[in-house]
């Protein structure tokens, strides 16, 4: 996949003082009081859900373990189970808010696999619609995102809270 719109994001890793620099991770130690500012949607025991600031598609979410590790094998069984449960909640919340036709769900392990934050494993949930790939990213080197992130954050956070409450019953 070729995504020229992510060049600014990838270039930011070169600055040693930038929080995206390798060795540091943008996913650890996000204080709860910054959840809204950093687009954290939900916190569970072992992992949290956050919106991707550089999305491949509208509503691109990530499930991230609190434990900073590059390896799936470093996570305990409870964390692995919670990742799947939270991914399920993400997909349901996206269905309720923006109604995609399907999803890509996966993980990039290691930089060569496409992991831009390869020191902290994280799982992507990317909503997809039939025909959502068009000429803009290919010819125009531009990705068009039609949703306002702040508005979508509010909608998704509400939907996730409702789903979590429903599952707790």
Domains of the chain, each with CATH number or no CATH: 4-168 (3.30.428.10)
Write down the mean pLDDT value for the chain: 83
Q: How far apart are the first and last CA of the chain?
A: 41
Beta strand 123-128 pairing with 40-43: unpaired
pLDDT in tens, 69-113: 999 999 999 999 999 999 999 999 999 999 999 999 999 887 887
From 42, 60, 120, 122, the catalytic residue: 122
What is the DSSP track for the chain? ---GGGHHHHHGGG-TTSTTSTTS-TTS---GGGTTTTTEEEE-SSEEEEE-SS-SSTT-EEEEESS--S-GGGS-HHHHHHHHHHHHHHHHHHHHHT--SEEEEEE--SGGGT-TTTTS--EEEEEE-TT---HHHHHS------S-HHHHHHHHHHHHHHHHHHHH-
Is-contact 6 54, C-beta < 8 A? yes
pLDDT in tens, 13-42: 555 554 444 555 678 888 899 999 999 999
Residue 65 half-sphere exposure toward CB, CA atoms < 13 A: 23
Question: Which has more pLDDT, 133 or 91?
Answer: 91
pTM value?
Answer: 0.80
* Residue 4 binned pLDDT confidence (cut-offs 50, 70, 90): low
Q: Is the pLDDT of residue 136 over 50?
A: no
Whether 122 is a known active-site residue: answer yes
Cα distance between residue 87 and residue 105, in whole Å? 8
């Amino acid at each position: 996949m070729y995504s020229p719109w992510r060049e600014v994001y990838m270039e930011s890793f070169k600055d040693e003082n930038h929080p995206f620099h390798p060795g540091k991770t943008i996913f650890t130690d996000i204080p709860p009081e910054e959840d809204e500012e950093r687009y954290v949607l939900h916190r569970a025991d072992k992992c949290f859900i956050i919106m991707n600031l550089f999305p491949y598609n509208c509503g691109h979410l990530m499930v991230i373990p609190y434990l900073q590790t590059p390896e799936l094998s470093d996570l305990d069984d409870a964390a692995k189970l919670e990742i799947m449960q939270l991914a399920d909640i993400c997909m349901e919340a996206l269905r309720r808010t923006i109604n995609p036709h399907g999803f890509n769900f996966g993980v990039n392990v290691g930089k060569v696999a496409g992991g831009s934050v390869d020191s902290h494993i994280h799982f992507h949930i990317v909503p997809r619609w039939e025909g959502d790939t068009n000429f803009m990213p290919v010819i125009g080197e531009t990705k068009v995102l039609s949703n306002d992130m702040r508005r979508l954050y509010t909608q998704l956070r509400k939907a996730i809270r409702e789903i979590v409450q429903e599952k707790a019953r």
